């Protein structure tokens, strides 16, 4: 049987209208209602009618968590993954699917995480495409207050830090393309330390369960089912980098032959394709994709 990994995208993959088709599936109604009770606002209303709000971290992260987790619940009726991983926010969905976190607990954590990250100011993030990696590593090492926040693929990274430091890196590395990201702060960098400390206190009080399937974490892409290890890694995630390139490389090393991206868009399968060319890649963005899979 083909060994399959499910991967879950993070902030940046959201799109207006995502999740709306899930309303046609009767089993989803309870989850959407439960989410509204926890959040105090409607995921469906934001996804359907308010593109501006959906672009803000405060709403983006809970909406992605709810939509992706519901898609995963439906997909689990048809198949089971052999391994899971998520990009930044997506790691919370992966932990839910692996049985590490109860669904409502995961959503409450995501809600608070989004609030803390939304309130972070004073930093910036810029994506770099097609660059000299050796030079980038040298420049980052020589530039205080700038780090590689997302190592996404051999040809794409995201730099995070103070505006001055990030600009200094860009000016020296001279990537083919540099794209500023529309975020409120320097996510996945030491500049998130204050928010991370507050969030750590919350995470410490949450019960993590041993995973049903191995999880590849952002900050340490070595698969594990150990609850204590997964909690420790999640605590480090807000200030640590997303090592997605290494996660991609770890997939075949873990015997994975097929990868299913569960959530809006195809960002992760695109990144994986640039890193590992021999994997079967599929996308489940909505009900239509689930129907195709069933056939």
The structure tokens listed for 108 are 């409450």
User: Which residue ranges of the chain lie beneath pLDDT 70?
Assistant: 294-295
What token pair was written down for 8? 């879950």
- Return the CATH number of 124-180, one of 1.10.10.10, 3.20.20.10, 3.30.70.250, 3.40.50.11810: 3.30.70.250
Active-site residue identified among 13, 88, 120, 248:
88
Tokens 């960098």 belong to 189
Rounded Cα–Cα distance for residues 275 and 260 (Å)? 16
Residues across the chain:
295
d(CA 103, CA 83): 18
Is 87 labeled as catalytic in the residue annotation? no
Q: Which of the following CATH numbers is that of domain 4-119+189-294: 3.30.300.180, 3.40.366.10, 3.40.50.300, 2.40.50.90?
A: 3.40.366.10
* Dihedral sign computed on CA atoms, order 25, 49, 69, 253: positive
Burial degree of 16 (CB within 10 A; 0-12, 13-18, 19+): middle
Helix or strand holding residue 21 (H, E):
none
Torsion, Cα 23 24 29 35, to 10 degrees, reads -20
CB atoms within 10 A of CB 79: 14
Instruction: Classify residue 121 by burial, with Cβ atoms within 10 Å: 0-12, 13-18, 19+.
Output: exposed
Q: Where in the chain is the domain with CATH 3.40.366.10?
A: 4-119+189-294
Active-site residue flag, 88 = yes
Show Cβ contacts of residue 290 under 8 Å, excluding neighbours closer than 6 positions.
71, 74, 75, 78, 284
Tell me the H-state helices in the chain: 29-39, 43-49, 51-54, 57-75, 90-97, 103-118, 133-142, 163-173, 193-204, 227-237, 244-253, 267-275, 287-294
> pLDDT value at position 295?
56
Helix (H), strand (E) at residue 4: strand 4-8
Output phi, psi for 224, to 5 deg: -155, 160
Residue 192: phi and psi, rounded to 5, are -90, 10
Q: What is the pLDDT of residue 292?
A: 78
Would you state the structure tokens that stand for residue 294, as one six-digit string?
Answer: 């069933």
Catalytic pick from 13, 87, 160, 188? 188
How confident is the model at residue 294, as a pLDDT? 56
Which regions of the chain carry the CATH code 3.30.70.250? 124-180
C-beta of residue 183 within 8 angstroms of C-beta of residue 125: yes
Beta bridge partners of 148: 159
């807000």: which residue's tokens?
238
Output the pTM of the full model: 0.96
**Would you state the pLDDT for residue 218?**
97
Rg (CA), the chain: 18
Q: Which residues pair with 180 in a beta bridge?
A: 126
């Amino acid at each position: 049987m083909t060994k399959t990994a499910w991967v879950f995208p993070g902030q940046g993959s959201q799109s207006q209208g995502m999740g709306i088709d899930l309303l046609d599936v009767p089993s989803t109604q309870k989850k959407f209602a439960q989410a509204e009770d926890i959040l105090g606002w409607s995921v469906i209303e934001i996804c359907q009618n308010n593109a501006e709000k959906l672009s803000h971290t405060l709403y983006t992260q809970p909406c992605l968590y709810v939509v992706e987790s519901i898609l995963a619940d439906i997909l689990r009726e048809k198949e089971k993954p052999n391994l899971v991983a998520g990009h930044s926010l997506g790691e919370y969905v992966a932990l839910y699917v692996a049985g590490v976190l109860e669904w409502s607990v995961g959503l409450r954590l995501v809600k608070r995480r989004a609030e803390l990250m939304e309130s972070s100011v004073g930093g910036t993030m810029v994506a770099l495409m097609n660059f000299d990696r050796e030079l980038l590593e040298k420049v980052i090492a020589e530039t205080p207050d700038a780090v590689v926040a997302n190592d996404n693929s051999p040809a794409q990274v995201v730099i995070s830090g103070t505006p001055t430091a990030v600009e200094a890196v860009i000016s020296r590395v001279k990537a083919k393309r540099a794209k500023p990201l529309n975020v409120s702060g320097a996510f996945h960098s030491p500049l998130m330390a204050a928010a991370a400390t507050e969030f750590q206190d919350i995470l410490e009080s949450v019960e993590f369960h041993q995973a049903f399937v191995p999880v590849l974490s952002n900050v340490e892409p070595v698969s594990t089912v150990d609850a204590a290890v997964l909690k420790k890694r999640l605590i480090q995630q807000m200030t640590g980098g997303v090592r997605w390139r290494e996660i991609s490389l770890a997939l075949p090393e873990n015997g994975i032959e097929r990868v299913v991206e569960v959530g809006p868009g195809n960002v992760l399968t695109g990144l994986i394709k640039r890193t590992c060319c021999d994997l079967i890649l599929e996308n489940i963005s909505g009900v239509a994709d689930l129907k195709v899979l069933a056939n």
